[in-house]
Every structure is written in C-alpha cells, then in structure tokens.
Structure 1
C-alpha cells in the first residue's frame, strides 16, 4: 500500500523546513512511510522505545554531530520531550553552517501535547503533517464498503479474516499499555466505556454531563477524557462554525471516533451487515466521509459544522483560502436534501454546495447543489491542494 499523497507532502515539507512532525495514531503507517523516505535520502532511523537507540542519544549533541548531512528520523518523539531544546540548538547551528532544511523527521502518536512541546522549542523551524488511516483514493472506490467496515488502519483493512480481532487488540493495547505509558492514570475499563459511548454517539453533540452521569464521574472529568482521546488522535472534536447571523447557534462540538473500523469494533459489529443493521450506520458513514475528505484537504483547511436551534444544519463546512464548501452527508442511494440544509446555506453563503452519497454517479440537485460519490469530491478537494 503506497501512500503517495502523504509521501509527497512530507518530502515537500522536508525541502522547506528544518524539521517535520508526522503525527498519527499507532499502527497507522508512520514508520513505514518514514522508512520509504529514508530510502530516498541519507538517513538514520531511531526508535525511542528501543533501549539500544535510546543509548545512542544519551549525549544527543555528540551523536547528532557525528552523523552530519543526514536526515535523522526520531520515532515516538513524545516519549522524550527533553530532546526538543537539543533539536533547536542543532538546527540553529546547522543554519549558521548553511544547512536550513531536511534535518529531522519526528514521528509522534500524540497530537496536541507534542505540538505544544515542539512549538515552544521549534517555533518557525517545524512543519506538521497528519497521517490518518488509509483513505478511499489510496485503496480504490471499488473497496469503499470494505474500507468503511474495517477502517483504514493498514493491518485491519488488509487482513479481512483477522480484521475484527486485530481491531479489538488495538483497542486493548491502547487502553492497557499505550495510554498508561504516557502518564494518565485512568482505569482501562472506564476509558473503554467512555470510548464506546462516543462510538454509540458518533457524530452527535458532545454532552459532558450526560456521559459523566453514565460513567459515575464529574463533567470536567468526562471532558478531560475527551481531551485525552483527541490528543491521541483517536477522536475528532468538530467545532461549530461561528458567525454573526443573528441566529441561536449550537455552540458545543460534535465528536467522532476517527476510524470507522474502530467504531464498529467498539460496538461489536463484525461485518457490513452488522453495521447496516445498527443505529450507528448513519453516524459511522458521516464520520467516514469527514475523515476521508480531511485526509486530502489542502493544508490549513478549517473544518466545522453549522447548526441552529431552529433546525438549520450543515454536516460539514470546509474553509480553505477563499473557499467555503458546505457538505451534506447521506447514506441513502437516493439522497434528498432537507430544508434545514438550504436554510443553513442561506445563513452561511458558501462558495460551493455538495451532497456526498454512496453511489457512483454525480448529478445536480436544486439550489446549485451537486450530489457526488465520495471519491469524486475527494478529487475535487485534492485539486485545490
């Protein structure tokens, strides 16, 4: 499975910045992509979970100085935050020597905390690239149902017979090993219940008090659980779009477990028929569409949703450059728009309006809305990158 889209993005970023952070959850393919890059330029790969590699950088300054003119790849960088000031010093030394780009590729499984650490030390020196699970353009439209059902983690997608068991093991490993190793002391059973509740409420407004009551914790504690799952790049918190339209807007975010295969595993749904027979099917498909679109969206794209108390609603708004796209997501093979979408577009005034559905043909709807297969809209969006 060759991830050309993201490979090109990383190579372009390395040509423009001293350091690049490649962020994504575990098992998503960061190391595979990094090793592909290592074959294209002189490189050294270090896994910061491996004692032998940690030993090499006990004196990081001396070690890095001993391998000049190479790309240094540091995997699981969030496990060694004290390394960031060292990287800044070396980048500045190299800059004075005339080397300005392509020095470090940092791989991380945690998002916001890694960004905070690196932004403090490497401001102006680093670019950030997200590596999500496999998307539809990478696997082909003919495998859309398989990608939706199994999700985009490469092993889960490719191993049809073992996919469900792999996803259960993935969930268990995160809860019992990875999360505790990063510091939070939360009972695995509690966090699994929270994760499962989010899956049940896929694409719904986050209500901390309701979830807290079910878990027997406080609302701030439930909110902190969400912060953790977002930081681990396992859950997306989609913020509402704010504008002064004189309407009562929903101000709480919507949440999505980012990989549809993990949604289905959390809910015990083993195959496509199980998914289609479950109430989560619509929310799961909506999250699947959103993640696929954002995987190919131009850098700096701002995603949000729009909803008013009167029922006007847009599932997904994408702002990039001068564009503002309004996107409705339908699971039906014969989709129809609601009045709420048209009213919302009257409020927001997007530059383009689309309806994504699981069919194979594009066709016009009223009020300048185009119905499109997911892959078609992904290609249109990618063309703006």
Structure 2
C-alpha cells in the first residue's frame, strides 16, 4: 500500500467544514478526491453513487434519502443523482433554524468528477449554503520535489501529476491511454452522445499540438474536418471537464491594440506528452515543443496553488499587435504579477522585453527559468528560478 501524499488543500477543507453545511469537491477524474476526503474525515459516513442500489434509492425518494442518511456524510459521484440537491437545501434550511451553525456545519461533503453537469446544479440549488473546491492533479510541492535540473523536471512533466503514475508502478503510456479511453466512454459520451469517437480523439490530438499557443478554433475545426459549432461544443466539454485550460487575454486598462484570442493549455502535462507521443524525457527536453510544455507546466503550478488555497486570483496572458507578449499575468486584486517563462538556463536581457513594455501599477515582474540565481534582469524585472515560486 502506498503512503498517503498530503494535499495542500487540506487546511482550507478543514476550515470549511467548521463553517459551511455543505462542501463540494470537484475536479477531473482520478485526481484523488475520495482518497483525500476519506483520509481527512475518517469518521464520516461514506457512500458512493457508483453503487446502483444507492443511486436508485436516492432517485426514487430523494427527500427520504437525505433525511435518513447517517450524517456527517461524504457523498461520492454526486453527479449521478442531481435530484437530491434541492433536498439538501431543504434539509440545511430546516435545521439551520433549530440548530446552532456549528451543529449543521460540515454535514454533507459532496464529490463529483463531471464538472460540466455538477457545477450548474450546485451553484443554482445550493447558493449561499455551499463551499466549493476543485482538486487538480498533484503539484510539485505535494510531490516534495524542486527539480532544479532541466532533465529531472522533464521526467516529471512526462510522468504527469495524476496520482496513479506517481504512486503505483504503472507506466505513463499505459495510464494515460486508459485514462483517455475512460474519459471518453464515461464522461463525453454521456453528455454529447458522440457517434464518431475517432473524430473526437483526433480533435484532442490536434489541440495537443497547439498547447501553449493561441487557439484558433476555426483552424482546428478545418484540420479535423468538423463544423465550427461542433468544435466549439467539444472544446467547451474539454474545458469544463478540466482536460484543457483556456487562458484568456488581458486587455483592460491598456490602450494598445491587444490580441483577444485565448491560449490553450492542458491541465496535466503527462496527458499532453502522451498525446504528442513522447516516450522519454530526453526526447521531450530536446524537442521543438519543450518550451511550450514547460510553460504549460509552470502555469498549471500557479493554478493549483490558487485552487488549493482558494486565493481567488485571476489569470491572463498579454499579447498585442506589435508582438509584445507576457506569458502570465496574475491579478491578485490589489496588485499584479507578470511572468515570462523560459525553459533555459542562460539569462538574456531581451527576455525582459515584454515585461518592460507593459505597465500596470502596482506590478511585480519576473522572468522564470532554470537559472539558479535571483538577480535583476532589467529595470523593475527580477530573474528567478522557476522552482522558487513553488
């Protein structure tokens, strides 16, 4: 049995059960949601709606099911029984008037993988009564790694950050092949009723080749021989189920003409490397997309940090018609942070060119790379090792 890997989100989850009657933990399949919750709350009753008898009982009489279930309870795969969500609200409202807040707090913990069906029901039915969390695959911090050497970093990028390739003796090739097949069979087909699975797989493959780049959905549709509407629909499913991540451009409060096309990334680099058919870290590190995949990984690390701490940051990139570009802008509410991400060890002043050209106040500006030193690279621009921000 593998040792449990501590998740950064644990602290905020523990706080949430003290104050919110309902907690929901969503995220892609196989990120460890059930493992996390059962480890964190071992005294909770645990049920999974993967079980047909429980699913049927909840659907046939959701009010009775909610009233009678032993609480506090973890309800797994809640997306299979959306019928019970209004009755969770009724239960919470009923007992909030007769019990202290501390007695009803943490009564229900819900989990679900199919974010696209689950989130609408949660936000509509349980507004004001629920604390929402999203668990992504492991971060470098959770894995206890600070890979300073580029090749070691690319080995982890190739392996990816899902629990199974990192805790079990299973090759990334085998794991991600099965993961993709399961995702299409269990999630995508239920929502889209796709008849041509091959066309959808080709669509995902084409997107992988564009990771780290501007997303021209019209070009993607043409390359896949599908309609623009179909491409938009499939893209939406991939985004809301967290297979891909769409980074929006920043153009507020900036007078220059800016590009308003989003950029495409994959939530997990292991799946991305699998789709691009990389089988070893050496080939990946030397390949033409190594910079884009490294950038993808670093941006996902920031996103995981944001999710795990519920920091509420907003993420953007910047590009204008003059070719000025910033890989990542983080809006922290009262201040901005700008990041240029380079998979290089040698620092050059031109790496700070885009950062110097765009001014939002107050803003901190960084060039992140494999260089081990922290030093000024240009006026108000600091070069730093990428792992310093883990």
Same fold flag (TM > 0.5): yes
State the shift of 1:225 in Å: 0.9
Counterpart position of 2:138 = 134
SS of the counterpart of 2:25?
strand
Counterpart position of 2:27 = 24
Residue 335 to residue 82, structure 1, CA distance change in 2 (3 Å)? farther
In 2, the alpha carbon distance for the partners of 1:132 and 1:204 equals: 22
User: Does the Cα contact within 8 Å between 1:311 and 1:340 map onto a contact in 2?
Assistant: no
Normalised TM-score (structure 1): 0.91
In 2, the alpha carbon distance for the partners of 1:21 and 1:177 equals: 21
Residue 75 to residue 359, structure 1, CA distance change in 2 (3 Å)? farther
Matched, 1:288 2:291: no
State the shift of 1:114 in Å: 2.1
Matched ranges for 1:208-357 at <5 A: 208-297=217-306, 298-336=310-348, 337-338=350-351, 340-346=353-359, 348-357=360-369
State the shift of 1:223 in Å: 1.1
Counterpart position of 1:123 = 127
In 2, the alpha carbon distance for the partners of 1:360 and 1:31 equals: 38
Counterpart position of 1:15 = 18
5+ residue gaps, structure 1, are 379-385
State the shift of 1:344 in Å: 4.0
SS of the counterpart of 1:353?
strand
Normalised TM-score (structure 2): 0.90
In 2, the alpha carbon distance for the partners of 1:106 and 1:375 equals: 33
Residue 206 to residue 24, structure 1, CA distance change in 2 (3 Å)? same
Residue 374 to residue 15, structure 1, CA distance change in 2 (3 Å)? farther
Residue 44 to residue 319, structure 1, CA distance change in 2 (3 Å)? same
Counterpart position of 1:5 = 8
RMSD (Å) for aligned C-alpha atoms? 2.0
SS of the counterpart of 1:318?
strand
Range 186-195 or range 302-311, more displaced:
186-195
Matched, 1:62 2:74: no
User: Which of 147, 167, 172 pairs up with 2:156?
Assistant: 147
State the shift of 1:358 in Å: 2.8
Cα displacement string for residues 187-210 of structure 1 (whole angstroms, at most 9, x for unaligned residues): 221111111111110111111110
Range 323-332 or range 171-180, more displaced:
171-180
Counterpart position of 2:92 = 91
In 1, the alpha carbon distance for the partners of 2:219 and 2:85 equals: 40
User: Aligned pair count?
Assistant: 374
Counterpart position of 2:38 = 35
State the shift of 1:106 in Å: 1.3
State the shift of 1:243 in Å: 1.1
In 2, the alpha carbon distance for the partners of 1:358 and 1:15 equals: 41
User: Does the Cα contact within 8 Å between 1:22 and 1:130 map onto a contact in 2?
Assistant: yes
SS of the counterpart of 1:365?
strand
Matched, 1:44 2:48: no
User: Does the Cα contact within 8 Å between 1:146 and 1:157 map onto a contact in 2?
Assistant: no
Range 158-167 or range 313-322, more displaced:
158-167
In 2, the alpha carbon distance for the partners of 1:93 and 1:349 equals: 48
Matched ranges for 1:55-204 at <5 A: 55-57=56-58, 58-67=60-69, 70-98=71-99, 99-139=103-143, 140-142=145-147, 144-159=153-168, 162-204=171-213
User: Does the Cα contact within 8 Å between 1:30 and 1:131 map onto a contact in 2?
Assistant: yes
Matched, 1:368 2:380: yes
RCO higher in structure (CA 8 A, sep ≥6): 2
